Structure 1
Amino acid sequence: MHNFDNIIRGALDLSHAEALKRKNPELTETHLLYGMIMNPQSTASKYLKGEIKVLEGLLDKLPRDPSVTMEKLRPNYKFQEWMTLASSESIKAGRDKITEADFLKFYKNFFPSIKINIPQDQASGEDAKSEVPDFLVNLNELANTGKLDPVIGRSKEIRRVQEILCRRTKNNPVIVGPPGVGKTAIVEGLAGLIVANQVPEAIQGRTIYALNMGILMSNTKYRGEFEEKIVGLINFLKSKGHETILFIDEIHLLIGAGKADGAMDAANLLKPALARGELHCIGATTFDEYKKYIESDSALERRFHKVKVDAPTCEDSIQILMGLKEKFEIHHGVEITDDAIVAAVYYSDQYISDRNLPDKAIDVLDEAAAGLKLSADSMPPEMQEHESLMKSKKVMLGSNPDNTALREEIKELEEEFMNMKITWDKNTMELRPRIQTQKTLEKAMNEGNFNEAGMLKNATIPKIEAEIASLNVSWKVSKKHIAEVIQRSTGVPVEKIMKSNQENIIELEKYLRSRIYGQNEALRQISDTLIAAHAGLVNTSRPIGSFLLLGPSGVGKTETAKAVTSFLFNSEKHMFRIDLSEYSEPHSVAKLIGAPPGYVGYERGGILTEAVRRNPYTVLLFDEIEKAHINFSDILLQILDDGRLTDTQGREVSFKNTIIFMTSNLKNYETYLKPELIGRIDAVLHYKPLGEDTVGMLIEKELEQLNKNLADREIKIALDDSIRNKIRASGYDERYGARPLKNSFSRSVIMPLSKYIVTHADIKGSYLLLNDEAGTVKLRKTD
């Protein structure tokens, strides 16, 4: 089977289509030349377009058969002869593909009436490619070979770019938008439309070359070398006339590129060619870079026309990922469910706030598919951990060979590991052929072997999938895999991500009451406020909730913030605490958003803004708010009102996914806080001093925690009433709340217990009762 380049492959498709349209039973040399001329990418279309009427006349004279089909269509003798000559020329030239140049060398053998001579150096193929500078990438060629991803949902922007390219003046579009919204994809989509001949006549047959700035800048250490490369680029584009479009991604990099010792930068070298219309250019950059570099150079800016691109909606992003689904399935060799695509979009939109759709959703989906494939190529993490534990136990046994209990434990671990390995081997046995077949499919599509690709896709892969389904093992990317990727990125547990917000948050009040005692009314208000926020009934641009907790020391204000964090994230690590007594001076408040320009530490960003930027899902605790400088109120006002804060580097940080707690011991808080600040707080909560009934509950809580700590030693502790009364008597103080109680519990229980454990080696599995006899704490071992 012959291997053709993209130009000939396209010409063959056109010649087949023309033969079927005319109901010709034979595929002739006339059909082939007609297809070459009708392909806008070919050299034949440039030199022989005037012969199209002659060829149509020849085609009209060919016999017709109304019953002809693609299967019945057969090449005639001259078609096969031309094919053989071209194939021999390709082999003689040492090429692995038959190119248009190989066919055009012999076209006069079959069409002697055509008097036009085509210069051989203008023929397509490897010879023509050699003149393209190595810092240019032919996007048309990538689109023709299927190496570019499909572009979905950007038809309006692509249309806008086409309109600007068709203008008489100022016909150089620059695509401006946030990172990751698909600016480069718009140009790739345009290249695909040009290859498919679905563009206006003014830009038909044009080739889009992407400029690789890294290669352009390489090997230009001496003055004049960079300018020489730029001049070579301009001359190459000028030599092509109006057949090329130059695409410069990150176009702001042109400003200052190559400038040294008085030399001109790339932008100034390109300006004259842009001004005279000698080259067509498409640029792409972000809003910030456009403002900083392009707008500041008015002479450069006036050469371009701005095309704004915004991030797509979640619905549009789902359509984009649906279009990319097959590409990811072929690459990773696993199946991707529609639920996974929807989850990738909505989870990334909810939990990853510092990036844009569709880029962040694509990354999440790609990583989830890669992770699933990795679990087939290598042992899953749980098996690796099991194996590591087994090895560490064997090391311990080596130092203590008489430990029979440890030997039995190792034996159980080995049996468990072998069972896990057998199951894993069985599950992955059928998937590995699918992965290998998908790799073959990807290679076939890249090389243009569409017959082989179709056979693999429609016959081989479905058969393998049926065998996998019979194993009752799912090798599909699901919502859970997406949630696991989000967990690794944000720290939010999988269970919390997959469980609906309404299901999750409704249990908050019950959980808070299990950790904080005596403050039921305050806990109810916190829970109700957060439920309303999760139901979407409040302003979604503001923080999820903001609370001012007032009351004496030790009543549970800080513990409330910790409990909310623990409930939402299964860990208190997501709470960011700021002691505002450290920010009583105006210059110290500035540290929260970053040092001003010119000061030491400017590039580090702010303490508060950087914390939220890195971890958008955070509980913020501002402790002792009355001790902060008045300037802190202005920062807090902006956070509570708009849900955002701009640091000294101009970066906007979103606080819409944060929960904010502020604490104070003051009763007359209105005299210290601005009225407009108080008005923006969701709830001002007064924590009551702890009553004596609450003290008993706190003692039980401390005892429960102590027993948890001793569980691995199989020791159980109990307290009789005498020791409880002693703790209550010495530990309860209305002024200081629960803090003295912890100290009293430590003195009365933990310290005596510590001495007992150290002096008694045989207490494993014991039940210890503590009581107070004659003012002295005694421990008694019971059965």
Structure 2
Amino acid sequence: ADGGDVADDPLAAYAVDLRAKARAGKIENLIGRDAEVLRVIQVLCRRRKNNPVLVGEPGVGKTAVVEGLALRVNEGKVPAAIKDAHIYALDMGAVLAGTKFRGQFEERLKAVISAIEADPDAILFIDEIHTVVGAGATSGGSMDASNLLKPSLSSGALRCIGSTTYKEFKTAFERDAALARRFQKIEITEPSREETLLILQGLSEVYERHHNVKYTPEALQAAVELAHKYLRDRHLPDSAIDVMDETGAAARIGVAMPEISLNDALGSRGPDERAAEFSDDTPTAADAPPPIPIGVREIEAVIARMARIPPKSVSTDDRTVLARLEEGLQEVIYGQPHAVKTIAHAITRARAGLARADKPIGSFLFAGPTGVGKTELAKQLARLLALPFLRFDMSEYMEKHSVSRLIGAPPGYVGFDQGGLLTDAVSKQPHAVLVLDEIEKAHPDIFSVLLQVMDNATLTDTTGRKTDFRNIILIMTSNAGAQEINARKVGFADEGPQASDANKAIERTFSPEFRNRLDKTVMFQGLDQSVIQKVASKMLAELELQLADRNVRLTYTEAARDWIAERGFDRLFGARPMARVIDEH
């Protein structure tokens, strides 16, 4: 159509015949969804208001239901009432392309509607129907595309299937009651893991042929389970299909297996073989290479890349790391054997699958004097588990309004659409060690927010987006009880009373509902002289490495180390003064 004129055949120009597409074998089988397809057919067979609108989250299979219906119509597996139906998917890009003047868009759309009305077997499918509602309207104008549709929709002359998300349905349809009443809402819910596995089993043959791979049954099961667990911002079955597809692609070009590099995979073959590798033409049986087997390990590697987590964290076989966790922490954290043992056992228990699925991996309160290694233990834990380290200083959140910095400003305030610092950080790094330093300094309203995180592992920001905390290790540090721990009695008396006093101080500082949601309160002891010498050796070793990068060699005697340990030791301030002593001398 030149100059924006209407084409002679509007359906051929501005729509795609899904039945013809199904006949050409370009539509994949629809697995399951029988109840939803039957409901769509029932609505289409009504005398009036015969317009279903499929509503569901992105990726649950709304478009697939309509394509599956077209496939069943083509195969004759539908009731006689719609056995001759042709479903035309509106191509919004083609309708809009080349429209220069006011009214050309409406003219084209009207031509499509008239063509559909003229054919009693034609059904119009508008994917993302919210893009049509409001399309063509100028600011303040009422002539948008939905007003063109309304008369035909109401009379039953036009049969139209729409699809949209819950959010867009609320925005576009619920505000326009006249439009909403002409459509029958059909909810497409996210399939269960069992249903998703059946979908993957049904689709696997197509992907195996395309990538020349062979998925093991365990690999398909792992794709479903790991996609559900780690890709929480996506929906089944879309996320699991993506995992299966990308694993096939990775195996096809030789990057799924760690021992085969991309260069090795491509460099060992000639140009003709490389061209064949990326060609869509299926080779003949005689010269076809054997299919590449894909197991659980390859699925784990791809999930790790997609969810930005280390492969060993995805695998159920990270026993080596967990077995050495306590030993590894003891090597770098001095004078806190009880704290290290407590945290190592709690993490091991959680990673062994004994923790509840709807809570964070662990919620811990580290209490004790300043400078004894509370934050350092959290850092070393993140290092050993190969997780990102997120730290928030709670002294910055002492005011009531500071809660909005963590979860976002409320509607109507500046920065409403920017999200919160905490929710954004966890959304970007869903697998991390999260440290809230000096938690007792935070405003009481922040404790109320944390109760939700510790109890349900979710936090909803002010835009309504849910942030998943199930793969977060939450550590809060506090100096509560520090005075009681430092008030040691003279002589060889038992330290029990001090520990009891410290617990009472924690009880005074934190509410019962907060303490009740903690997995463990870990008490840190003050450091003694022998531990301080180890800390001095560690700091000097770090300084030695730092200077070595600048070609400066550092040597020191034991007497110098002891002198630094003595000068840098302060029962009240812990090991922090030692860094200052080293800097000064």
1:209-248 correspondence to structure 2 within 5 Å: 209-241=88-120, 243-248=121-126
Determine the structure 2 residue equivalent to 1:577.
391
CA change 1:712–1:614 in 2 (3 A) is: closer
Q: Matched residue of 2:26: which SS?
A: coil
1:275-674 correspondence to structure 2 within 5 Å: 275-375=154-254, 425-426=267-268, 432=274, 435=277, 439-441=280-282, 460-461=284-285, 463-466=287-290, 475-500=292-317, 504-568=321-385, 570=386, 574-667=388-481, 668-674=505-511
Query: Residues of 1 paired with 2:550 and 2:412: CA distance?
Result: 58
**Are the counterparts in 1 of residues 253 and 262 from structure 2 also a CA contact under 8 Å?**
no
CA change 1:705–1:322 in 2 (3 A) is: farther
1:130-149 correspondence to structure 2 within 5 Å: 130=9, 132-149=11-28
Q: Which runs of 4+ in 1 moved over 6 A?
A: 710-718
Determine the structure 1 residue equivalent to 2:130.
252
Q: Matched residue of 1:549: which SS?
A: strand
CA change 1:724–1:590 in 2 (3 A) is: same
**Are the counterparts in 1 of residues 364 and 474 from structure 2 also a CA contact under 8 Å?**
yes
**Are the counterparts in 1 of residues 10 and 111 from structure 2 also a CA contact under 8 Å?**
no
Using the TM superposition, name which of 153-162 and 501-510 deviates more: 501-510
Shift of 1:310: 1.9
Using the TM superposition, name which of 267-276 and 344-353 deviates more: 344-353
Shift of 1:579: 0.9
TM-score normalised per structure 2: 0.86
Determine the structure 1 residue equivalent to 2:492.
none
Query: Residues of 2 paired with 1:656 and 1:366: CA distance?
Result: 26
Shift of 1:428: 7.0
List gaps (5 residues or longer) in structure 1.
1-127, 385-419, 442-455, 469-474, 749-783
Q: Give the letter for the 2:311 counterpart.
A: V
Q: How big is each residue's C-alpha offset from its partner over 1:584-625, in whole Å with a ceiling of 9 and x where there is no partner?
A: 112222111112222222211111111122222122211111
**Are the counterparts in 2 of residues 433 and 464 from structure 1 also a CA contact under 8 Å?**
no
**Are the counterparts in 2 of residues 502 and 534 from structure 1 also a CA contact under 8 Å?**
no
Shift of 1:358: 1.7
1:709-728 correspondence to structure 2 within 5 Å: 720-728=557-565
Shift of 1:681: 1.6
**Are the counterparts in 1 of residues 48 and 155 from structure 2 also a CA contact under 8 Å?**
no
RMSD over aligned Cα atoms: 3.0
Query: Residues of 2 paired with 1:131 and 1:265: CA distance?
Result: 19
Query: Residues of 1 paired with 2:56 and 2:398: CA distance?
Result: 40
Q: Give the letter for the 2:77 counterpart.
A: Q
Determine the structure 2 residue equivalent to 1:192.
71
Query: Residues of 1 paired with 2:187 and 2:301: CA distance?
Result: 34
CA change 1:338–1:704 in 2 (3 A) is: farther
**Are the counterparts in 1 of residues 369 and 526 from structure 2 also a CA contact under 8 Å?**
yes
Query: Residues of 2 paired with 1:305 and 1:723: CA distance?
Result: 82
Shift of 1:352: 1.7
Query: Residues of 2 paired with 1:198 and 1:477: CA distance?
Result: 35
List gaps (5 residues or longer) in structure 2.
1-6, 482-504
Shift of 1:434: 5.5
Shift of 1:172: 2.0
Query: Residues of 1 paired with 2:550 and 2:311: CA distance?
Result: 31
Q: Is 1:204 equivalent to 2:83 in the alignment?
A: yes
Q: Larger relative contact order (C-alpha < 8 A, sep ≥ 6)?
A: 2
Q: How big is each residue's C-alpha offset from its partner over 1:717-740, in whole Å with a ceiling of 9 and x where there is no partner?
A: 775432332222122222222222
Determine the structure 2 residue equivalent to 1:695.
532
CA change 1:735–1:722 in 2 (3 A) is: same
Shift of 1:716: 8.7
Query: Residues of 2 paired with 1:727 and 1:172: CA distance?
Result: 81
Shift of 1:503: 5.7
The structure that is helix-richer by fraction is 1
**Are the counterparts in 2 of residues 480 and 494 from structure 1 also a CA contact under 8 Å?**
no
**Are the counterparts in 1 of residues 393 and 438 from structure 2 also a CA contact under 8 Å?**
yes
Shift of 1:339: 4.3
CA change 1:383–1:244 in 2 (3 A) is: closer
**Are the counterparts in 1 of residues 564 and 578 from structure 2 also a CA contact under 8 Å?**
yes
CA change 1:383–1:651 in 2 (3 A) is: closer
Q: Matched residue of 1:440: which SS?
A: coil
Shift of 1:322: 2.7
**Are the counterparts in 2 of residues 434 and 464 from structure 1 also a CA contact under 8 Å?**
no
CA change 1:462–1:521 in 2 (3 A) is: farther
CA change 1:306–1:536 in 2 (3 A) is: farther
Q: Matched residue of 1:464: which SS?
A: coil
Q: Give the letter for the 2:535 counterpart.
A: L
Query: Residues of 1 paired with 2:298 and 2:128: CA distance?
Result: 34
**Are the counterparts in 2 of residues 633 and 674 from structure 1 also a CA contact under 8 Å?**
no
Give percent identity, aligned residues only.
42
Q: Give the letter for the 1:730 counterpart.
A: R
**Are the counterparts in 1 of residues 430 and 472 from structure 2 also a CA contact under 8 Å?**
yes
Q: Is 1:274 equivalent to 2:115 in the alignment?
A: no
Q: Matched residue of 1:258: which SS?
A: coil
Query: Residues of 1 paired with 2:234 and 2:306: CA distance?
Result: 12
Query: Residues of 2 paired with 1:567 and 1:490: CA distance?
Result: 19
Q: Give the letter for the 1:435 counterpart.
A: E
Q: How big is each residue's C-alpha offset from its partner over 1:323-379, in whole Å with a ceiling of 9 and x where there is no partner?
A: 322333343445544444333322222222111112122223333333343459xxx
Q: Is 1:741 equivalent to 2:578 in the alignment?
A: yes
CA change 1:431–1:157 in 2 (3 A) is: farther
Determine the structure 1 residue equivalent to 2:37.
158
1:36-185 correspondence to structure 2 within 5 Å: 130=9, 132-185=11-64
Count how many residue pairs are aligned between Structure 1 and Structure 2: 552
Q: Matched residue of 1:246: which SS?
A: strand
Q: How big is each residue's C-alpha offset from its partner over 1:36-64, in whole Å with a ceiling of 9 and x where there is no partner?
A: xxxxxxxxxxxxxxxxxxxxxxxxxxxxx
**Are the counterparts in 2 of residues 173 and 283 from structure 1 also a CA contact under 8 Å?**
yes
Query: Residues of 1 paired with 2:65 and 2:119: CA distance?
Result: 23
Query: Residues of 1 paired with 2:23 and 2:565: CA distance?
Result: 81
Q: Give the letter for the 1:606 counterpart.
A: G
Shift of 1:138: 1.0
Determine the structure 2 residue equivalent to 1:115.
none
Q: Matched residue of 1:661: which SS?
A: strand
Query: Residues of 2 paired with 1:300 and 1:426: CA distance?
Result: 61
Q: How big is each residue's C-alpha offset from its partner over 1:502-541, in whole Å with a ceiling of 9 and x where there is no partner?
A: 6654443232222222222222222333333334434321
The higher radius of gyration belongs to 1
TM-score normalised per structure 1: 0.65
Q: How big is each residue's C-alpha offset from its partner over 1:245-284, in whole Å with a ceiling of 9 and x where there is no partner?
A: 2111112223211112634211121111111001112111
From 518, 523, 532, the equivalent of 1:686 is: 523
Q: Give the letter for the 1:311 counterpart.
A: E
Q: Matched residue of 2:474: which SS?
A: strand
Query: Residues of 1 paired with 2:270 and 2:173: CA distance?
Result: 54
Shift of 1:547: 0.9
Shift of 1:713: 9.7
